[in-house]
Amino acid sequence: METDWIMGLVGGLMIGLAASLYLLGNGRIMGASGIIGGLVDKSEWSSAADRIVFLIGLMLAPSIFIFIFDFEADTKATTNVIILILAGLLVGFGTRLANGCTSGHGVCGISRLSIRGIASTIFYISAGAVTVALLRNLWGAIQ
Amino acid sequence: MGGYTIKRLIAFCSGSLFGVGLLLSGMTDTSKVQGWLDFFGNWDPTLAFVMGGAMIPMFLAWRVSKGRKPIYAENFPAEPQSNINRDLILGSALFGVGWGLAGLCPGPAIASLIFGGSQSALFVLAMLLGMRLTPQIRSQISSSSAT
């Protein structure tokens, strides 16, 4: 769709504003994997309340938005259970090992001109691109 | 309101804004994410606009943070070490494989938990398990490569 890039830009600006608010207000990096991971392995238990509240907002707000504005939302995710579990494990382990994901290394890291953020982003995008190319061409698993 | 209450309010607002931004931008739509990763096929450029749009406020925020203190905290996150080590490369690559496989990364996975049905739920459960096991696996890799 022609409007996709406008929605992308508007949504992107909102993501950037959310990260700015978290940084300038609470002095923290808005990285999804770090916020979740610090709870899961209890490594950063002291800030647990802030993290939980952040995640509640992240979980509730999109659904409330969908409900109020009758917004059409569909993840179009695969129904292949094995792919979903394997992907989830890889994303969980990989982001914690690398200490960041699309939001932490990508949005917050690159905007800070962090070498680690830029390197991480190059690696996960490259690995993702190879994976999608293999999925499409070898298995025909996705449209 | 005390400082703690305001910090939590900021965390809630930030999470909410992040979630709606992910939804509107198409990051919770796995076909858009996988379409963007499909550089060798039918490439969808939308996510470049999402990343670009998100960088603008954050680039300014980092500028503003220089020489100042956060409003409700003692200090800003320390400048990260610049070393690119094995964990960063291996972790990012494995994350990328998972991202390409399902089209979901941690933020959008949580953001779609309510409307994304059993697929989002299953993905998030596996992701949490992966995160939970990371400290153990990390120490195993370290000890095996040290010997």
ipTM of this predicted structure: 0.95
Q: What's the gap between Cα A75 and its chain centre? A: 14
Phi, then psi, of B38 in degrees rounded to 5: -85, 60
In angstroms, rounded to a whole number, what is the distance separating the alpha carbons of residues B53 and A27? 21
Mean pLDDT to the nearest integer, A26-55: 93
Q: What's the gap between Cα A13 and its chain centre? A: 15
A48 touches chain B (CB under 8 A): no
Q: Please give the angle made by the CA atoms of B58, B59 and B62, to the nearest 5 degrees.
A: 80
Confidence of residue A43 (pLDDT cuts 50, 70, 90): confident
Instruction: Find, in chain B, the residue whose alpha carbon is nearest to that of A79.
Output: B119
A87 vs B76, B87, B104: nearest CB: B104
Q: Are B107 and A32 an interchain contact pair (Cβ–Cβ within 8 Å)?
A: yes
Say yes or no to pLDDT of B42 above 70: yes
B43 touches chain A (CB under 8 A): no
Chain B environment of A94 (Cβ under 8 Å): 90-98, 130
Cβ neighbour number for residue A78 with a 10 Å cutoff: 21
Q: Are B89 and A119 an interchain contact pair (Cβ–Cβ within 8 Å)?
A: yes
Say yes or no to pLDDT of A67 above 70: yes
pLDDT tens-digit readout, B85-111:
999 999 999 999 999 999 999 999 999
Confidence of residue B1 (pLDDT cuts 50, 70, 90): low
Cβ neighbour number for residue B30 with a 10 Å cutoff: 28
Confidence of residue A96 (pLDDT cuts 50, 70, 90): very high
